[in-house]
Amino acid sequence: MPKNRKIIALESRLRKCRNVITLGVKTNFSDYSGRDAEMIREAKKIYYPTTFYADLFDAMGKETFPSYHTYKCVQDKIKQSALFNLQGIPHPRTRVFYGKRQKKAITDHFKYPFIAKIPRGSAMGRGVFLVKNDVDLQNYLNVSHPAYIQEYLPIDRDIRAVIIGDHVVHAYWRINPPGDFRSNLAVGGCISLDSLPEEALALALRTARQCRWDDVGIDICMAGGKYFILEANMKYGKEGFRSAGIDYIQLMEKMIENGEI
C-alpha cells in the first residue's frame, strides 16, 4: 500500500493508527454521510467492519480484515469446537447438550470433575465453571442453555499466541492464580515471557490457517504430553503486548504499510 494512502476502518481498534481513517459503526448504513458511504463502497478492503457488516461485505464480494471467516466464530465456542473437530485439530473432548434431559446425558458422557462453559458471548474467563458434583452441575444448567461440556485437563498454565495476518506476532504464558483452574488475566492470571515451545506456536499458526482466521488469540495447553487448542479469542486484550514492550499501534501501522494485513 502506498505510504500516503489511508485505509478505511469502521470499528475503533485502529483509531490511533496514522494510516487509518476510522469512520465508526452506524447501525443504519443510511446514517453515514454521502462522502463516508462512497469511501466504504470504493474501498478495496474494509478493516474491522463488525460481525454485522462483515456479513454484508462478504455478500457483495468486498474483502475485510479480519476475514469474514474470523468474524463467523467470534465468541462462539460451539462453532469453534465443531470446526476444530472437523479439521482434526487437537482439542479437549467436548460435547454440546440440548433439551430438558441434558443433565442425565451429561453425566453419561463425562465423569466429575469436568469443565462447563457458557458457549456464546462469554470471555475473559467469565462463564467458565469447574463442575465437581451434581450441585455444581445444576447451578451451571440454571444459567446456560445449551450446555457446553469439556473434559477437565489438570493444567496450571496455558499459552496465548496472537496471530495477525499470517504470522504469530506475539505469544506468552498465562499462569493460573493460586487456587484457580483458569489462567485468564481478568481473574488474576499472570503473564510470563519465558521461552515458548516452537511446536505449540506452529500448532497455533496451523490452526489459524486451517480455520481461515487472520486476527486471533489462540489458547494452547499441554496435558498428558500432548498439545491442545483450547479456544480462539477474536477480541483479545493487549496486556501481553504491553508486558513485552510491543507497541501494538506501531505494529499494526507497519503491517498495513507492508501489505501484510
DSSP 120: B
All three cell numbers of 14: 485502529
Amino acid at 150: Q
At 213-236, the pLDDT tens digits run 999 999 999 999 999 999 999 999
Band of pLDDT at residue 35, cut at 50, 70 and 90:
very high
In whole angstroms, give the CA distance from residue 116 to residue 144.
Answer: 9
Is CATH 3.40.50.720 the classification given to domain 157-257? no
Domains 93-151 and 157-257 share a fold: no
Per the CB < 8 A criterion, the answer to whether 192 and 203 are in contact is: no
Distance in angstroms (rounded) separating the CA atoms of residues 172 and 188: 16
As given in the structure block, the three cell numbers for residue 128 are 467458565
pLDDT digits (tens, 9 = 90+) for 93-128: 999 999 877 888 999 999 999 999 999 876 655 789
- Three cell numbers written together for 171: 505469544
Q: Cα dihedral sign for 152, 153, 155, 158?
A: negative
CATH superfamily of domain region 93-151 = ATP-grasp fold, A domain (3.30.1490.20)
Per-residue DSSP letter, 76: B
Q: What is the mean pLDDT of residues 135-148?
A: 94
Q: Which backbone phi and psi does 193 adopt, to 5 degrees? A: -100, 20
pLDDT recorded at residue 178? 85
According to DSSP H, which parts of 27-101 are helical?
Answer: 34-42, 50-59, 68-72, 77-87
Tell me how many degrees the CA angle 112-188-83 measures, rounded to the nearest 5.
55
What pLDDT does residue 174 have?
Answer: 96
Contact between 187 and 124 under an 8 Å Cβ cutoff? The reply is yes
Nearest to 117 by CA among 181, 205, 162: 181
Domains in the chain: boundaries: 7-65, 93-151, 157-257
Is 70 exceeded by the pLDDT of residue 2?
no
Q: Which amino acid is at 96?
A: V
* Nearest C-alpha neighbor of 238 from the set 248, 226, 251: 248
